[in-house]
């Protein structure tokens, strides 16, 4: 399936500002209980993302970045949530893409999926900044040489952290 593309960017030479979605733009707290359940309810966790409140601090940062950069989303959400994620972005007046997502059956921890995606992205454009709320992601990307910043306005959930470490699901 071809990934839907955003409108053509004003320039294909502007550097990229890379934004994570969950915990940076989207407030995931209301759906973490699905991961605290046993067995964990991953599909319900993802489907409930439709109702995530927007995190204004992240949205403000994104709008500021759009002035000088082309924004790319890089999320651990699976491809099957693409339509819902794009509708959510549109509803909050945010660009709907480009949106880089995890392949549906890729269960690697997010840090490895994101490191690989950034290496691919950097083959075509300069990556000026990366914003992510997961300390494990930030540590790996920093070690890989990316200009990454830890988003701290929504403390990264220990539930999500352990789910990622054990299951590599988001
Ligand atoms: Mg995140």
CA of 24 to the centre of ligand 1 (A): 6
Please list the pLDDT of the chain residue by residue as tens digits (170 residues).
Answer: 444 455 544 557 899 999 999 999 999 999 999 998 999 999 999 999 999 999 999 999 999 999 999 999 999 999 999 999 999 999 999 999 999 999 999 989 999 999 999 999 999 899 999 999 999 999 999 999 999 999 999 877 766 776 666 665 65
Residues in the 5 Å CB sphere of ion ligand 1: 20, 22-23, 133
Pairing relation of β-strands 99-102 and 148-150?
A: unpaired
Pairing relation of β-strands 16-19 and 127-132?
A: parallel
CA of 101 to the centre of ligand 1 (A): 12
pTM confidence score: 0.88
For the chain, how many residues are written? 170
CA of 75 to the centre of ligand 1 (A): 7
CA of 47 to the centre of ligand 1 (A): 16
In 3D space, the residue among 167, 151, 120 whose CA is nearest the CA of residue 27 turns out to be 151
CA of 132 to the centre of ligand 1 (A): 6
Strand order in the sheet with 16-19: 99-102, 70-78, 16-19, 127-132, 148-150
CA of 2 to the centre of ligand 1 (A): 24
Which contacts qualify for 54-60: CB closer than 8 Å, 24 or more apart?
54/25, 54/26, 54/27, 54/92, 54/94, 55/23, 55/24, 55/25, 55/26, 55/27, 55/153, 55/154, 57/151, 57/153, 58/19, 58/24, 58/25, 58/131, 58/151, 58/153, 59/25, 59/92, 59/94
The domains found in the chain, sorted by start residue, are: 16-167 (3.40.50.1000)
């Amino acid at each position: 399936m071809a990934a839907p593309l955003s409108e053509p960017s004003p320039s294909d030479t502007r550097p990229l500002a890379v934004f994570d979605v969950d915990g940076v733009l989207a407030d995931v707290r209301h759906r973490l209980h699905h991961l605290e359940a046993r067995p964990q309810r991953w599909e319900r966790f993802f489907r409930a993302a439709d109702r995530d409140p927007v995190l204004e601090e992240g949205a403000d940062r994104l709008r500021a970045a759009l002035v000088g950069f082309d924004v790319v989303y890089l999320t651990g959400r699976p491809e099957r949530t693409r339509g819902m994620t794009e509708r959510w972005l549109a509803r909050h007046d945010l660009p709907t893409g480009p949106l880089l997502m995890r392949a549906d059956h890729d269960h690697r921890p997010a840090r490895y999926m994101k490191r690989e995606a950034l290496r691919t992205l950097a083959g075509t454009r300069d990556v000026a900044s990366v914003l992510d709320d997961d300390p494990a992601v930030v540590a790996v990307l920093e070690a890989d040489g990316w200009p990454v910043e830890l988003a701290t306005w929504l403390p990264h959930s220990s539930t999500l952290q352990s789910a990622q470490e054990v299951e590599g699901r988001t």
